[in-house]
Structure formats: C-alpha cells, structure tokens
C-alpha cells in the first residue's frame, strides 16, 4: 500500500454531533435522564454515554417518573411526544432539524387533504418517526413499490400525493421515484428532503471509490447510512471493507492496493476514525496530508472575527444551520444573512450549498457558533466602496432611512449618506418617497476610519438622462413612435418624457374628442404611446401626438351613418345660432337653433347644455366640406303620410 485518502465529509454530520453533544451536556449536568432508544447508531458512542450515566430504554413507558428523557436524533412520533407531555416528563429533543422539517411537511400535507408518501427503508426508526406524524402514511422503498401501490388502488379517495424522502434512500432512488410519480400521478408535490450533508458524503464516497483499489467504510453495522455508503463504494471499487472500529482491521489480511480510501457514516465519531487511521498507517508508507488536517480541523477552536466556510444542512424560519467540520455547529440568524430587506432566503442559500461567513460568537455553554454572512459582506463591501470611489463606478443599493437632510442607502452592507440636494427629488417631495427603493449612485466621499460614506443619486440620474437624450436626438425623426411617461400637464397640453427628452402633446393631439383640459385624457405618471409630429434639433423642441391616425374619424362616421339615420350625440359647444354635438369622436355636427325643438327657441341654452346626450336625426351631409346637419325637431314633428300631406287636427 502506498497512499491513504479520507473523504472530506466522513464522520459525524451536524444532526448526529448535535444529539451527542446534547446527551453529553445533560450527563455532565447530572440531570436524572435516560435516552429513548440509542441516540445514534453507534455502539461505541452509546457505551461511552452509558459510562457517563445515561442508560437506554426501549419504550416510552420505561422512562421512570421524575426522570427527563432525550429524544434521539432519528426523532419520535407525535404520539410519543404527547405521552411525555401527559406524564409531565421533561423532554430534551435531539431530533435532527432536517428530520423535524420532514415531520412538519407530512403533518401539514395531511391537514391540506393530501396523502403523505415517504420514500425510505420502512422499518428504519427515522422513517417510523416520520410516519408517526400523520394518520395514514404510505412508506415505499423505491419506484417498484411505488408502481405496485399505485396499481393496487389503495389510494381509494384519489387524494393528491405529497412525496418526501428520508436519508436511508439515495438520491438516485428518490429521483427515480419522482420520475415515475410524475408519469403516473397528477397534482403530486415533491420535497427533496434527503439531507444535504448525506448527499454530499455519498457523492464524495462514490468519487473516491472510483480512484481507489480498496475502500474502508467505518461505521456501526446497524446504521443504514453506513450500509448505503458500502453499497455506493462497491459500485466503483473492487475491494470494500466495512468495519466498526480499529480492532476489526487485520493488517496482514488487507488487500494490496496503491491507493486506499476511507469514508465513515454519519454516526461515526472522529476518535474512531483516528484510531482506524493510526492502525492502518502502520502499513501505509504515504499519508494524504488532507486526512491529518481534517482530523485537526474537527478539534480546532474558533475565535470571534474568524472567516469560515461551511455547508448548509438545514434552513428554519429563524436561522440557517451550518456544518463547519468542527465540534460545534454553526448558526446564521436570518437577520445576519443579508443586508437586503427584500431578498428571500431561498435566493441566497439552499441545503447543501457551501457558505462563507464570519464568526460572531463561540459559545461553549450552548455548544454552538454564531455566524454572520451579512457582516462578512459588509467587510467586503468597504473594499468595493473604496474601489467604486476611486474608479467613479456606479453602484446599487436600497434606501433604508430618511430624514430632512437626505437619505441613507445600504450599498454592500455599508451605510451611504445621500444629501437631499443629491437625491434628485423635487424640493416639495418628501425624502420618504425613496424609502425601500433600489437606487443607483456614485460614491463621492469615503472615510473608513470615521465610517462615513457620501454618495450622489442625482449625478447618476443626470448622466444617464444626458446619455439617453443624446441618443434620442441622434435618432429622432418625424413619425417615429416612443413609449413615454407623462411628466406634467398645462392648460394647453401634456409634457411627455420619451427617454431623457421631454416633448409636448398639444391638447388638440391628445384625443379625437373635444376636451377642455389634458387631465380628461392623461395624468402625471401615466405611460403613453406617442409619435413625433415634428422635432426642432436647434431649438430642442419636440411636438408629439397621441391620436390614432390609422382610423380617420370622418371615415368612421361615413361608414357608420347616412342621411336619415338617428344618432345619440353629445352636446359639446353652444353658439348663438345653435349647438355643436359630437357624433363620433373627432366629428361634430350642427344642430341649428331652428332644429333644437318643435317650437321657437330664443337661445340654445334654453333647450340643451354642454355635455347633454340627445337623440338627433342626420338631415344633411356635406361630403366636400365635411359638415353635418343635425335635427332634434325632425324627431319631434308628427310623421307625414306617404303622399306627404299633413294629417288634419281632427285626425
């Protein structure tokens, strides 16, 4: 043998380490306590805990009155928790957070009227615990079981299915089940709840096994996790040895191999791995340095301010839990994850991701390390802020505070003050209008010693607007269409920003209908489609239109009405000689004063008012001059007989 290599993720996972440390803590405190079932699948660890005074009981009824109980990392059913609550027994819950998350998923799924389906080894204690959080669980070991269950018709109520996976299943088994379910089921939902640390350990073991002539898998023979590692290694390596401890190794009987790989199940402590390594090193000439370094890492201590990299193993509503490869787990509170108040946790990290953070506190009492990604980002942010000031580059940030003097923008976690004069807001606009807005700015002053940074939003706005305006003037031409924003209104029209340049839409070009004020058609802030009527590049003036010229109002009128038709029209203007009324938008007709009523009218206002809707008869159309004569009187006078004689009064 020449070389030995250890898989980086070998040994205790976060959940197991957390459970063992909780048990050791309670033993050290001298609290009368028992463990319900082996806290993890490792006899050596259980024997060590027994030596500290923690014995194992098999059933909840065996927990003595007055004693506390430790729930193992695999978790227990809801009924077990209710049993202890009923007996007023104190519970120290060492259930892995990943497993607790699965409990919540299946419980909520059933409450929503769905059928929970658990993919995993049916008799595994962790699977039994998950099944104990719903009334009618279905446990399947793989895609063949799934197919048989679906064909059996046992889902008689045809409930929609919710799939979860337990870590005794491999990623391949899970993916095959998902693929099969998507073909055979409708409205199914899938939660890939295989622990990220487990998936990572299995993949590293697979890759290492492909390079080695011998793989040594260390772990308890009752551990499903360890058994899976052995199965995975056998797929790629000709010789695989499963052992529980160093004493199981017979050096003179080890197969010859140029390279030996070692991996260990999630329930294997570092001291057992070290014993295995020490014994094997007696026969191995070359040792991979990363192996020794990893063992040292598992025992090393951290100090506040240290930068660390770990693997995300669980995400809860309040924190992200990180495996650091040391004796304590790491926690990042959601408030310490990002300085961006709008960002979602899932957009930053997922279970299985590597994450870099900074140590805020190492608590030996609580057996944990408090971490912050946000503060690490802030430290990096200062470097980026200084570079942005030097290079005059534009940065982005969120407005987090406002006052009379200006606003505070968070850029890369660094507070940047923007004076009111540099916000770009009109004087009458309150600074609060920018709160929670994403803005672009340049850094104008940096004093890291005083933690002072000043920036300007308006400089960016002016520069971007100037660049946009230059582009508009270079490309503008009559008839070109733009999408713009209404900036202001006057009595004679509306000013529209078409991308750095304002153009005016005259009131007559806002609508085919007759209007008194632009506000009848648009309001400030509206997005409108406009076209260029004319552009004077020397005077920097642009005339815009909004009316749709693709449909001529006169054509609309002539194709809709003809002489003799009745129309409902709107009175738009009164004159001494009659009233003008809109027949269709953009086309008015005249109701002469003599045609306003069937009696003499002194002035039009005695009969109609602007805005009135009235029925009229179209009596004449001057096609050449586009003039229309309308009459109310023609609809009020009695009809004539076919010969045109007026009926007598007697009739």
Selection from 123, 125, 126 nearest residue 164 by Cα:
126
For residues 397 and 435, the answer to whether their CB atoms sit within 8 Å is no
Selection from 52, 48, 45 nearest residue 27 by Cα:
52
Cα angle, residue 278 at apex, residues 52 and 291 outer, rounded to 5°: 100
Selection from 36, 6, 33 nearest residue 268 by Cα:
6
Give catalytic status of residue 25 as yes or no.
no
Place of tokens 């030596």: 51
Strands (E), 75-160: 91-93, 115-119, 138-140
Selection from 566, 344, 100 nearest residue 589 by Cα:
566
Residue length of the chain:
651
Selection from 363, 441, 353 nearest residue 395 by Cα:
441
Q: Element (H or E) spanning 86, and its range?
A: helix 78-86
For residues 349 and 309, the answer to whether their CB atoms sit within 8 Å is no
Burial class (CB in 10 A: 0-12, 13-18, 19+), 30: exposed
User: Hey, what are 110's tokens?
Assistant: 């059933």
Place of tokens 């009187």: 633
Sign of CA dihedral 608, 610, 612, 614: positive
Q: Which of 76, 126, 336, 582 is catalytic?
A: 126
Rounded distance, CA 324 to CA 303, Å?
Answer: 13
Please list the alpha-helical segments (H only) found in 211-341. 224-234, 270-280, 289-299
Rounded distance, CA 131 to CA 280, Å?
Answer: 42
Which residues does the annotation mark as catalytic? 126
């Amino acid at each position: 043998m020449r070389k030995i290599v250890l898989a980086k993720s070998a040994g205790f996972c976060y959940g197991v380490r957390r459970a063992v440390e909780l048990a050791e803590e309670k033993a050290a405190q001298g609290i009368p306590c028992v463990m319900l079932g082996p806290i993890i699948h490792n006899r050596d660890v259980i024997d060590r805990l027994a030596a500290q005074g923690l014995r194992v009981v098999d059933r909840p009824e065996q927990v003595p009155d007055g004693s506390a109980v430790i729930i193992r990392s695999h978790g227990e059913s809801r009924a077990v928790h209710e049993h202890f609550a009923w007996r007023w027994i104190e519970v120290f819950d060492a259930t892995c957070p990943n497993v607790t998350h699965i409990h919540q998923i299946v419980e909520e799924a059933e409450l929503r009227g769905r059928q929970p389906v658990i993919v995993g080894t049916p008799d595994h204690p962790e699977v039994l615990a998950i099944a104990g959080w719903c009334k009618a669980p279905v446990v399947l070991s793989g895609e063949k079981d799934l197919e048989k269950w679906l064909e059996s018709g046992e889902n008689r109520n045809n409930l929609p299915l919710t799939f979860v996976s337990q870590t005794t299943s491999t990623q391949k088994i899970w993916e095959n089940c998902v693929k099969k379910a998507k073909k055979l089921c409708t409205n199914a939902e899938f939660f890939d709840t295989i622990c990220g640390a487990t998936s990572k350990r299995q993949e590293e073991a697979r890759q290492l096994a492909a390079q080695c002539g011998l793989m040594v898998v260390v772990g308890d023979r009752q551990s499903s996790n360890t058994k899976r590692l052995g199965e995975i290694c056998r797929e790629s390596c000709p010789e695989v040895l499963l052992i529980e401890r160093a004493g199981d190794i017979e050096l003179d009987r080890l197969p010859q191999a140029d390279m030996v790989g070692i991996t260990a199940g999630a329930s294997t402590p570092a001291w057992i791995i070290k014993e295995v390594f020490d014994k094997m090193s007696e026969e191995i000439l070359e040792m991979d340095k990363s192996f020794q370094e990893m063992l040292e890492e598992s025992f090393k201590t951290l100090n506040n301010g240290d930068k660390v990299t770990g693997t995300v193993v669980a995400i809860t509503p309040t924190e992200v839990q990180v495996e650091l490869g040391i004796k304590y787990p790491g926690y990042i509170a959601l408030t310490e994850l990002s300085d961006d108040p709008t960002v979602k946790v899932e957009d930053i990290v997922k279970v299985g991701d590597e994450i870099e953070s900074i140590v805020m506190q190492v608590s030996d009492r609580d057996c944990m390390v408090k971490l912050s990604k946000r503060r690490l980002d802030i430290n990096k942010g200062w470097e980026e802020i200084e570079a942005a000031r030097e290079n005059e580059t534009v940065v982005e940030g969120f407005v987090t505070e406002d006052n009379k003097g200006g606003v505070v923008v968070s850029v890369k976690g660094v507070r940047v003050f923007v004076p009111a004069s540099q916000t770009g807001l009109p004087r009458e606009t309150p600074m609060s209008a920018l709160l929670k807005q994403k803005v672009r700015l340049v850094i104008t002053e940096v004093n890291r010693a005083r933690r002072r940074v000043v920036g300007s939003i308006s400089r960016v706005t002016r520069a971007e607007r100037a660049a946009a305006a230059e582009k508009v003037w270079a490309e503008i031409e009559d008839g070109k269409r733009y999408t713009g924003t209404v900036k202001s209104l006057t009595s004679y029209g509306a000013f529209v920003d078409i991308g750095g340049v304002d153009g005016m839409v005259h009131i007559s070009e806002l609508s085919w209908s007759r209007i008194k004020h632009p506000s009848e058609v648009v309001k400030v802030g509206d997005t409108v489609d406009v076209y260029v009527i004319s552009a004077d590049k020397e005077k920097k003036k642009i005339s815009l239109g909004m009316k749709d010229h693709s449909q001529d109002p006169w054509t609309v009128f002539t194709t809709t009405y003809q002489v003799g038709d009745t129309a409902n029209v709107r009175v738009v203007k009164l004159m001494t000689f009659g009233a003008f009324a809109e027949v269709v938008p953009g086309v008015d007709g005249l109701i002469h004063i003599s045609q306003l009523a069937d009696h003499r009218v002194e002035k039009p206002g005695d009969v109609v008012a602007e805005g009135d809707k009235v029925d009229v008869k179209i009596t004449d159309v001057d096609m050449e001059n586009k003039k229309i004569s309308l009459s109310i009187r023609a609809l009020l006078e009695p009809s004539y007989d076919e010969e045109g004689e007026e009926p007598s009064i007697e009739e």
